[in-house]
Chains A and B, each alone.
Chain A
Amino acid sequence: MADYKLTEEGEEYLKNGLPEKNLVNFLNKLSQKSATIGRLIANIKNFPIALKWALDKEWVSKKGDEIILLKPPHETPEEDALRKIYEGKEVEEDTAKVLMGRNLVQRITETYKKAEEALAKTGNVIDELTHDIILTGLWRDRKFKLVTVETIRKLDKKKIAPGKRQPYNHFLMQVRKKLVQMGFIEMTGPTIEMEFWNFDALFQPQNHPARCWTSTYSLKYPKFGRLPLKNIVSRVKAAHENGWKTGSTGWKYKWSAKKASQLMPRAHDTAITPRYMVKGLKIPGRYFNMVRCYRPDVIDATHGVEFIQTGGIVVAKDLNFKHMLGLLKQFAYEIAGIKETKFFTDYYPFTEPSVQISGKHPQLGWIELAGAGIFRPELTEPLGVKEPVLAWGFGIDRLAMNKLNINDIRDLFSRNLKWLRSQGD
């Protein structure tokens, strides 16, 4: 049995249907089940071919200028065969011959002969699976020689040329190392998180626009998680409804535990922090995370399928807004190498005051570097943290793109081996 591939015409018919099939379908929809050649030429692509085959198959008859439907076919084996060949599946030899006759498929012939002969020499058993054997489909009716899989082999190290790191991942690791030098401990958390940790514990009200269907993903399966300790949940609930003991009025609405227990892919990196706050932070402490986040953005040059966010917190007694600004300036210099910076007013539901830092980049001009703020007491106190917590998120993707000289954010997860091989030293 041999393998085939579709010709251009075969691909077109697979996509748009066989012309003779399109012809009978067209006739079948007409009440009189017939039409003039003139009308059919205008409506059926490749009409002469369609007519030839429909007549041959006795699906239609011709009476003067009129084409009359005789019986619409139940099945068209040719179409099925085209699909099978396209998908690399087996087809009947006879059907294949018909298709070859119509120049819809080609046999992969020369390679086939060569591969067949080669296989015959080894007793028609496949020893090494090769490009030719795969392409000809000879693997379908030949046995593979068994190999001894349980014996451990030794590698000839002389044969190795070194590989390369993925440049974006490498960049991330360098940032990680920089943060560790600055005294930050890395936090991690689950990819699938409860809304409770992603939103509620961060004092984001349940009717906040950022929590709607179009701003975050929800899951078809699994749907709900198990909420944490009752006392934490009831304090967070109170903070939302009436401010709890924090001196806040809260958001003044009825908080739903069911909504909070819904599962979702983590939408932002700050979702990681509240679990650490409940477990107990080192005071003083510096923490960071670098994790994948998921939002239903329309995918384009500035929005990938998923993205990696870098952020974290600093917690210590007597920290204030001046320290917040100092920390951001330090980040700008240490991570982006930028000295000239400006602060902007900003808003996050979980911080107050909030701030953004922009910096003058040598190539990019003024760019937004980081967003930050001091966690609200409605957030920290229910989770058991009494000290001020400075929270920050650093936009490192833009810096990575600049360093790697790319303009499309999707290229951070590049599928281009040639480009990957050309990167780095």
Chain B
Amino acid sequence: MPTLEVSHSDLCSLIGKEFTIDELKQYILFAKAEIDGMEGDLIKIDSKDTNRPDLWSVEGIARELSGRLTGKKGLLKYKIEKSSLVVDVNKKVSKVRPLTVCAVAKNLKMNETTLSQLIQLQEKVAGTFGSGRKEVAIGVYDFSRIKPPIRYTTAKLDKKFVPLDFEEEMSIKDILEKHPKGKEFGHLVKGLKEIPIFIDSAGEVLSIPPIINSNFTGKVTEDTREVFIECSGFDFKFLMPALNVLVAALIDRGAKVESVKVVYPGKTMYTPDLTPKKTSVDTDFANEVSGLKLSSKEIANLLEQARYDVKKIKGKKIELLYPAYRQDILHPRDVVEDAIISFGYNKIEPELIKQKTKGEISKLEVLSEKLIEKMVELGFQEILSYSLTNKEHLFSKMNLKEKQLVEIENPVSLNWNVFRTWMLPSLMEFYSNNQHVEYPQKIFEIGDVVLIDEKQETKTIDVRKLVASISNSKVSYDDISSVLDVFMAALKIKYKLKKANHPSFIEGRVAEILVKNKPIGFIGEIHPSVLRSWKLEMPVAAFEISLEMF
């Protein structure tokens, strides 16, 4: 979820009307955002729509609000004239970062606020919409310092230039290793022998996307009057809207945007293209989704407030144009939501669902609930543990050899990188945290373990288990065995105990629990070497059973 910092006064001046912060808190819903806090003139905004980069700028928010609050409805007019600038795309980029779309913006009137808003928008679009610059990297340059035409090609790693905010020349290799942006984004060009580069006709480097601009052309300040903008990546589906979002924000602030001729081997295109896109919505469909009973005209009006143009209304069919900076409209349903937002979520009368249905808890939870009640009656404290753990807890601390289990490839911590295959270690860990608490400590847990099972379509299976244990200055096999017996009697389950070997337990003091001659778990006294590996000083007796048979 992108978070923005915008200026209260700047936002109001873009909307064209003054609003208090309380009013904005209410109206900002129109821009699918929430106000998260404020400090002086600065407002912190959470933008909730991860698919609407046009809403991640103060200009974009102002558009949505002014359409609904000031009577300035319909499409904003974005006029683009052709510039003479040519960007020549070399076929060498086709294997590294094949595509770029570009624009030139003139007549900029930058100040501290507008500059910081431009940088913020650029970062959010490339970072969130562009998946951390992978899909979209954006460069903005001082156009007056560039000698056209511009070439988009590749360079070897020993190529040198002065990267942004540095004073000395560095080789690309050094930039990737030492420059903060090189370290942050270097993984995106890892292993490439030649990396993409924008370079002008005087041989001046503009940038190496998606890493860093040069300090000479790539530094934009409050004094910059003209900028060259490029978006690079792999798919026009991301690049076009990204560029459109940026130039629309600049035009909203009075810039004059010109298109650039981008020449690919065998193909030429002019970008940006802000021609509005066509869609339509059916009035009956809109009412069916919203539950409102609106006329075509009313819906058309709501959509104009949402910055659509209504081309014509033909009975129930409303033909529309929507702005080119939007790429989120896949289905008429998306248009309906915009109309409902204009209508106001809090003006709609909620309706109760009339159809009656009969509820039901899952069988496993019904069983678990019954067992929990029984164990509590028997004097046991229920605990709840994470199902993520580590191999040391599951195996070596329990005197067991490792076995195949579900392991996470990108864990946050090595303490939690595998799924538990049995429950007893969770209880041992719990005991080791509570040695200062009064004994006896009788605890239990019901939960799932995850086991490898190649027969399943997910190659794994969840098994619900119950584990219970007693720890005290003296604990015997009989203590835990008698608990198991009451428990089984309450469930009316006949069982047998059979001598067994299990390295976590004392030899001769462990048995397998059999139901209908099938093993469902173990019972016994924990081996002192296991107790010591958990740093425990009191004996423990425990049983663990699988609930599959119940």
Residues on A close to B: CB < 8 A? 87-88, 128-131, 133-135, 137, 139, 144, 146-147, 149-157, 160-166, 168-170, 173, 176-177, 179-188, 190-194, 207, 209-210, 212-214, 217-222, 224-228, 243, 246-253, 263, 265, 282, 284-286, 292, 294, 296-299, 304-306, 314, 316, 318-323, 325-330, 342-347, 349, 352-356, 374, 376-378, 388, 412-418, 420-421
Contact = CB atoms under 8 A, between A and B. Distances in A.
Contacts of B445: 166
A130 B388 contact: no
B360 A144 contact: no
Contacts of A243: 330-331
B364 interface: yes
Contacts of B385: 413
Contact of A191 (B289, B383, B437, B450): B450
20 contacts: A130-B473, A134-B531, A147-B478, A152-B497, A155-B378, A155-B482, A169-B384, A173-B365, A179-B359, A183-B357, A192-B419, A207-B135, A209-B50, A225-B459, A251-B330, A282-B357, A285-B357, A306-B386, A322-B290, A352-B333
B381 interface: yes
A163 B459 CA distance: 38
Contacts of B345: 325, 343-345, 355
A87 B34 CA distance: 53
A128 B486 CA distance: 23
Nearest to B531: A134
Contacts of B61: none
A289 to B, nearest CB: 9
Contacts of B377: 160, 162-163
A418 B434 contact: yes
A378 B459 CA distance: 28
Interface of B: 29-30, 32, 34, 48-52, 128-129, 131-132, 135, 235, 237, 288-292, 330-334, 336-337, 340-341, 345-346, 348-353, 355-362, 364-365, 369, 372, 375-388, 404-413, 416, 419, 429-430, 433-434, 437, 441-445, 448, 450, 452, 456-462, 473-478, 481-483, 485-486, 496-499, 506-511, 523-525, 528-529, 531-533, 535-539
Nearest to A343: B345
Contact of B131 (A146, A209, A420): A209
A294 B49 contact: no
A190 B458 contact: yes
A163 B378 contact: yes
Contacts, number: 356
Given A182-B359, A186-B362, A188-B362, A349 B51 contact: yes
B328 to A, nearest CB: 9
A209 B136 CA distance: 12
B131 A207 contact: yes
B537 A131 contact: yes
Contacts of A321: 289-292, 340, 348
A188 to B, nearest CB: 5
Contacts of B498: 150
Given A130-B474, A186-B361, A322-B348, A149 B355 contact: no
A188 B361 CA distance: 10
Contacts of B51: 347, 349
Given A163-B376, A417-B437, A180 B361 contact: yes
Nearest to A308: B384
B331 A225 contact: no
Given A149-B497, A173-B369, 5 more contacts: A162-B379, A166-B382, A218-B408, A353-B336, A356-B48
Contact of B411 (A87, A296, A346, A414): A296
Nearest to A283: B355
A180 B337 CA distance: 31
A87 B533 contact: yes
A71 B375 CA distance: 64
B384 A226 contact: no
A225 to B, nearest CB: 5
A359 to B, nearest CB: 13
Nearest to B528: A139
Q: Which 5 pairs between the two chains have the least Cβ-Cβ distance?
A: A322-B291, A320-B291, A88-B532, A180-B359, A284-B355
Contacts of A165: 372, 376, 382
